[in-house]
Structure 1
Amino acid sequence: MMEFSGLKAQQERIRPRLEAAIRAVFDHGKFIMGPEVRALEERLAAFAGVRRCLGCSSGTDALLLALMALGVGPGDAVLTTPFTFVASAEAIALAGGTPVFADVDPATRNLDPVRLREALDALKPGLNPAAVIAVDIFGLPCDYPALEAALEGTGLRLIEDAAQSFGAELGGVRAGAFGHVAATSFFPAKPLGCCGDGGAVFTNDPTLAELVESLRVHGKGGHKYDNARIGLNARLDTLQAAILLVKLDIFEEELALREAVATRYARNLGGVPGLGLPPSLPGARNAWAQYTVEVPPHDRDAVAQALKAKGVPTAVYYPRPLHLQPAFERLGYKPGDFPVAEGLCERVLSLPMHPYLGDDEVDFASEVLREALEA
């Protein structure tokens, strides 16, 4: 049986360094906001090319902190994609705002600038347009120049949800540097993942950075017992920061390895009838959080079962668009409102993807998929 898990391979490669970093934290005993947190923030800011990075407890909290720092609350509309993980819209609701969805572009699977503007123009009376959360789905950056053009003159704040795209680029600009503020996740399966939960907020705005720094520690003022505002308990653990510092050392190499895996998949699977390959965007470098193909809807379960029978794991990201999730039923959306997102949810299938997939594993998964589609 082939081994398709990448976390084990990565951790075995750098295990001595990980263990040394963890021991160092135990030696100094500063488990909350220890020196590794600040060191990581400085390195991540430099990597992304922004002035400030602030670590936090998860990618969800990173989005929530960004929204809170922007002042989003009751009566505010925040527009986003229905084709993503629930956290992108959940954070809006947690901040007190109202999620408003706009369909995605079939050419990128990301937020469609034209549909975004249409959704903005069609806002229900009483809702104040406040911000947009653009999600870089599966590691491909959104078309930010087009999104910014669509939002020109609106005054809306643009938030980049880079939970899946940290390490990606568009036009030489790295994920984390788009919009007014960006958020990412360090969930273990992400391109840069820790050994638990973690996240970060990125911005060039010093006022926003100061607010996030306060909000992540219970809204602290001059010290933790001076509470200037209502905040969260959303700090990044020192142990996770220490682990991320080690993983950051090999991150560029792993991004290149992910690209090589994606290139091999594309070479193997190009031209297979009924199969749609992951999209691209001119000038973009994908971080390849997932390698997600599209298969005919009526065949997806059978294809997934055929791969499973041969030991090839698959996943469906995502089986139901957000506007049809029970959690957002109160918003009043119905089937057919966002046909592109709904169609993707019926067709997408993610194949094994990580930096340590061998050529034989990629070739085997590709051949099993090809056979399943031809059956």
Structure 2
Amino acid sequence: MTTTDTADPAADSFTGPLTGVRVIDLSKILAGPYATMSLADLGAEVIKVEHPEGGDPTRAWGPPTLGADATYFHAANHGKKSVTIDLKSDHGQAQVYELLAGADVIVENFRPGSSLQQIFDYQELAARFPHLVVLHISAFGDDGPLRDEPGYDMVAQARGGLMSLTGEAEGPPMKAGFAMGDLGAGLFGIIGIVSALFERSRTGRGQYLTTSLYEGQLALHVNWATNYFADGNRPHALGSGHPNLVPYQAYPAADDYFVIAIGNDSLWQKLCTQIERPDLAVDDRLQENRGRVAHRELVEAELSRTLRTNTVENWCAKFSEAGVPAAPIKHLDEVYADPQTEALGMVQTVDHPSAGPMRQVAFPVNFNGVRPPVRSAPPELGADTDDILGVEDPPTPTPPGA
């Protein structure tokens, strides 16, 4: 059962654009599970295949825990069914092949060159199941000198440059607060799967998709990369600052920090008016953004000196009246208590069989004004094994090329 703080009756009848699509999820940790959870939110049936002993490692990534599992597992696995299969056994492989016969998508993050990647080789799968869309997620991609390297999110953030762009300019390297290596790969994987399913509707054939935590980082560099391509200068961390816009960062008020985001010269003039600094407004060095970028330290020093004279609440009110983008910096307890969050219906509550009511973050896209509902709580390990696989005697294994 799903409930929201702003219950929408239309959500009860929402089937989702991927209704009828069956996904076999052989992935674990975060990138693959996040992608498949999103597919479940969009209406797909997602069957998560886990090892009988312990299942997805993130079930133990706690505390905190809810029920038998860590909240980290709960974060990326709602809406799925769980079956337990030993993928390295002949019996287990035969069970997976039976599932694939009726599936549309398979998602896996087997380490390149591992025995499991060889067992579930795409060429053999395609020969037997030509309709399948297969997504393979790795740390560094299928080619290159790092292809066989294992990787976690922070490793990808380090190798992919994100840590060099995060933190204060003179401080130590820092990872991003979100797991952007994993989540970036998961999001690009979703785009690939939906695109491949669309193409399959025309051709009838699936295809092999690959992405990686590393490739996702490169794709998300965007303006940082093009800045470097243009001038050849090594980018470096700017704290909360922006490489192309000034002022566009966090500033200290009398009681806390808040952010100001000036995206054009007109907004700069409005800012100067609201803070009663006409001297900055007429300073020839600062009237255009290129000059403010060149004199970043001067702008930061002058604004910090002035903004310290009032509170975050008062500054944000003044800037809001003038249409100057500014905002307080909220902590997560404040975010999830915010009326804006409630109005959007982004937090939904589902019933978990052992943990009880469980809050989950919903899918962030509405369809004709309807938020896709979180259909079910993250599954307990193997909860759906008997329903999906049955309890018959083990079948005789059949290799994928037979």
Q: Normalising by structure 1, report the TM-score.
A: 0.23
Which structure has the bigger radius of gyration? 2
Q: Normalising by structure 2, report the TM-score.
A: 0.22
